[in-house]
Amino acid sequence: MTTTQDRPAPLDEIKIGGLGSSRRRVEDNRFIRGRGNYIDDVVLPGMLHMEILRSPIAHGRIKSIDVSKAYAIPGVRLVITGEMMATRNLAWMPTLSYDTQAVLATDKVRFQGQEVAAVIADDPYIAKDGCEAIVVDYEQLPPIVNPTQAQAADAPLIRDDKESQADNVCFTWQVGDKENTEKAFAQADVVSKIDLHYPRTHPSPLECCGSVADFDRATGKLTVYMTSQAPHIVRAAVALIAELPEHMIRIISPDLGGGFGNKVPVYPGYVVSILASILTERPVKWIEDRTGNLISTGFGRDVYLHGEVAMRNDGKILAVKMNTVSDHGAFYADAQPSKFKIGLMHSAFAAYDIPYAYLDSIGYYTNKAPGGVAYRCSFRVTEAMFFQERMIHAAADDVGIDQAEFRRINLVKDDDFPHRTPYGFLTDSGQYEKCLRVGMEAIGYDQFRRDQEEARKRGRLLGLGISTMTEPLGAGNSREYDILGIKMFDSAELRVHMTGKAILRTGAKTQGQGHETTWPQIVAHELGIPAEDIVVEEGDTDTAPFGMGTYASRSTPVAGAAVAMAARKVRAKARKIAAHLLEVSEEDVEWELGRFHVRSAPERGVTIQECAMAAYANMPDGMEPGLEATSYYDPPNLTWPFAAYFCTVEIDPATGVWDVLRFVAVDDCGVRINPLVIEGQIMGGLTEAYAMANMQFITFDVDGNCIGSNFMDFLLPTAWETPGWELHEVVTPCPHHPIGAKGVGECATVAGPAAFVNAVVDALKPYGVRNIDMPMLPDRVYEAITTRSDVSGAPPVRTDR
């Protein structure tokens, strides 16, 4: 206890690793030494290995499966087929969108790469040999690879397993004010129209999916090590599918080599490995290969848009209409809040002051792997913002107003918050015009426009693209957001040991966001305990409090808020202990970072560490020992970060190759916990956005074959290709978040693609080109230049040229 007459100097929050400290990532200490613990590092005694046989065709009826030759291979222990799964009611499983998905195909295959059988053997090589020995007789059926084919009168019925399914529609959904939107269009001076396709893309984490299932017959407990971003949700799903009691299931998600949404769903490989362990009574490991990951797991995007913008001649937007048609593949397996059939697509135009809007959406089944995964975005927000900014770009050109000025005219003003968006969301804070202005100054906007005009006279093609976005993060408040009926809150459990060190467990699961680094910074901010004295544990359902996992930028907005609230509960108890130690009433105790003191005598005080020791050794009468708390945080609203991005490019008219000259990013993510981590998140997100716009090509031919199932076709950018990023910041604290943070992990991937496309389209404006679908490969750009027309990338593609 402090007894000196001099008041101790207050703690320096930056020095103890609190908010605003660019603390180096703690987890990197083991990662850079090769000491991470990934799924393939898990080795259990007596472990067997599983390999999955996948369909080579996109659509076909299964006439027979002969597994006899597989069983003849020494070392093969078990072969599992859909028929065997069906006898245990495991051939089909529920999806996160209230659909059903085949675990192993029984009646027919519905996409190339679908799981047909599994071989369990002594090692993975024998298991692979066993798969190659299985003989499957298919009756090929016509494949469908886009929504236009799916809605044709003679289209084959893909989901003939569903009794009530008469066509290939998997949902319809509408939102907005249709009547007033139509009235606004009738009064418009100018109506801008554009048709777009956001193509399929893939999260492609460095580590593919995998699991190690271990069923202990003696105890009846099932332990599964799994590549999961949401282990508690997976445990609930396994309990439903496998009909095991939830308390006898333990899901452990160790270090993840990236996720980006790819590791949210429950994949057939997980379920089959669990059954294999139950049947063999031995641990069974399944490690997905790269082609299996690219061809069958969690695609993102694949949405078509017809967009219209109604305007006055002065550029003021009166209303917008959006019609989206989405390709969901063979099963409707989107991971998203239950009530929103097309995710949060209606978050479009949230940053713009638009009176009316209407969104009409329809989804189709096709013979492709399930799509719709929230690839580094908050449930289709990437598509929403891409469509928004491509519509804004076209509208500005059609009304004849400069791109930046058109946005300034229509952006929500600072004094208009809280703002009700045209689709019904409530945004709470922002400085949108300031972000736009900071970006314009950084890129040298006016000078570039002058340089662009001069360059065009000499035959050079320069372009400048702008993209803004505000992304709804932290889904969500329990009034509106659930997945399979489970409300989308999150949790944190903080335990301060008697020596003042602490352990923090959350219901989130890091896969590169840096939770082990930033969560302690929140605790340091709330309690004054140095961040280095706090350890973080996540991903084990036997020890972590129940949470919905990490995706859709839920970390800081929801789990981070839970951390702050748990720390405040600890501080409230510590305050009572401090009053006891200082022999004053609780009302006479004041708090400063890391220390309580007597209001009238600031020199008399006790540290949080001294309170922690007293919680175990000298607590007040009637108080429970210990200093710990658990918080389940139900956010009152979404958080709304904002970004304004500026990209300049030059195109070689002889080849169609385009190069990024400069890229300026201005992000307002509210209070910044760790600037170093935030900069890494933004740079990583921009790199993914650049890859989508420039080089990542996954599509399908007329036979339903996946083009881009390897890293020779589906390219990942290296340091050589990736442009430099110029980062700037504006800070507008979120008024309802405990520490004022808004989240940032996905913003760059959400806003980035439109900036690149708008820049290329801006460069080609003299040619009358309004759109080139991503990826803007050189041949597509060259085609646009030579034909002076838009270029679509929608499947199917020809493979004979």
Per the DSSP assignment, residues forming a β-bridge with 772 are 791
Tell me the pLDDT of the chain averaged across its residues. 95
Residue among 551, 542, 536, 524 at smallest CA distance from 492:
536
User: Which residues neighbour 68 within 8 Å (Cβ) at sequence distance 6 or greater?
Assistant: none
Burial class (CB in 10 A: 0-12, 13-18, 19+), 166: exposed
Does residue 5 surpass a pLDDT of 80? no
Question: Whole-angstrom Cα distance, residue 532 to residue 265?
Answer: 34
Residue among 660, 792, 794, 790 at smallest CA distance from 394:
790
Does residue 374 surpass a pLDDT of 90? no
Burial class (CB in 10 A: 0-12, 13-18, 19+), 45: exposed
User: Residues 477, 479, 483, CA angle at the centre, nearest 5°?
Assistant: 70
Per annotation, catalytic residue among 380, 746, 747, 770? 746
DSSP characters over 430-481: --HHHHHHHHHHHHTHHHHHHHHHHHHHTT-EEEEEEEEEE--BS---TTT-
The DSSP code for 406 is H
Instruction: Compute the Cα dihedral for 748, 750, 751, 752 and give only its sign.
Output: positive
Give per-residue pLDDT as tens, 51-74.
999 999 999 999 999 999 999 999
DSSP characters over 645-711: EEEEEEE-TTT--EEEEEEEEEEE-BS-S-HHHHHHHHHHHHHHHHHHHHTB--EEBTT--EE--ST
Give per-residue pLDDT as tens, 376-388.
998 999 999 999 9
Question: Whole-angstrom Cα distance, residue 688 to residue 677?
Answer: 17
Contact 474, 639 (CB under 8 A): yes
Structure tokens at 338: 């239950």
Q: How many helices (DSSP H) and strands (DSSP E) are in the chain? A: 19, 34
Does residue 244 surpass a pLDDT of 90? no
Contact 242, 222 (CB under 8 A): yes
The DSSP code for 92 is E
Cα first-last separation, the chain? 81
Question: In the block, which residue shows the tokens 């950018």?
Answer: 717
Q: Which amino acid makes up residue 274?
A: I
DSSP characters over 205-240: -SS--EEEEEEETTTTEEEEEE--S-HHHHHHHHHH
User: Which residues neighbour 319 within 8 Å (Cβ) at sequence distance 6 or greater?
Assistant: 180, 181, 184, 185, 188, 309, 310, 354, 355, 356, 357, 358, 422
Contact 227, 210 (CB under 8 A): yes
Per annotation, catalytic residue among 112, 229, 336, 452? 229
Does residue 345 surpass a pLDDT of 60? yes
User: Which residues neighbour 509 within 8 Å (Cβ) at sequence distance 6 or greater?
Assistant: 228, 229, 230, 231, 253, 256, 538, 539, 549, 550
Tell me, yes or no, if 165 is annotated catalytic: no
Tell me, yes or no, if 377 is annotated catalytic: yes
DSSP characters over 718-740: -TTTPPP-EEEE-----TTSTT-
Radius of gyration of the chain (CA): 28
Give per-residue pLDDT as tens, 306-337.
999 999 999 999 999 999 999 999 999 998 89
Residue among 25, 24, 16, 27 at smallest CA distance from 525:
16
Phi-psi region of 552 (alpha: psi -120 to 50; beta: other; left: phi over 0): left
Give per-residue pLDDT as tens, 442-481.
999 999 999 999 999 999 999 999 999 999 998 878 889 9
Quick one: average pLDDT of 731-741?
Answer: 97
Contact 473, 481 (CB under 8 A): no
Beta strands in 244-336 (DSSP E): 249-252, 284-287, 303-311, 317-327
Write down the pLDDT at residue 684. 96
Quick one: average pLDDT of 166-195?
Answer: 98
Quick one: average pLDDT of 488-500?
Answer: 96
Peptide bond into 795 cis (omega under 30): no
Quick one: average pLDDT of 425-446?
Answer: 98
Contact 536, 504 (CB under 8 A): yes
Tell me, yes or no, if 290 is annotated catalytic: no
Give per-residue pLDDT as tens, 624-639.
999 999 999 999 999 9
Per annotation, catalytic residue among 377, 647, 734, 747? 377
Q: Are strands 461-470 and 190-198 parallel, antiparallel or unpaired?
A: unpaired
Question: Whole-angstrom Cα distance, residue 300 to residue 379?
Answer: 10
Backbone φ, ψ for residue 205 (5° rounding): -65, 155
Does residue 800 surpass a pLDDT of 80? no
Give per-residue pLDDT as tens, 688-706.
999 999 999 999 999 999 9
Confidence of residue 799 (pLDDT cuts 50, 70, 90): low
The percent of residues in the chain predicted with pLDDT above 70, rounded, is: 99
Per annotation, catalytic residue among 23, 77, 376, 672? 376
606: part of which helix (H) or strand (E)?
A: strand 601-607
Does residue 4 surpass a pLDDT of 50? no
Q: How far is CA 678 from CA 22, 560, 735, 747, in A?
A: 9, 14, 20, 11
Structure tokens at 318: 């009166």
User: Residues 644, 646, 648, CA angle at the centre, nearest 5°?
Assistant: 170
Write down the pLDDT at residue 240. 80
Contact 253, 171 (CB under 8 A): no
Write down the pLDDT at residue 126. 98
Q: How far is CA 64 from CA 54, 75, 159, 537, 789, in A?
A: 15, 24, 20, 48, 49
Residue among 260, 205, 266 at smallest CA distance from 235:
266
Beta strands in 129-262 (DSSP E): 135-140, 169-176, 190-198, 210-216, 221-226, 249-252
**Per mean pLDDT, which range of 232-246, 354-368, 406-420 is the poorest?**
232-246
Tell me, yes or no, if 628 is annotated catalytic: no
Backbone φ, ψ for residue 734 (5° rounding): -75, 125
Instruction: Compute the Cα dihedral for 340, 345, 350, 352 and give only its sign.
Output: negative
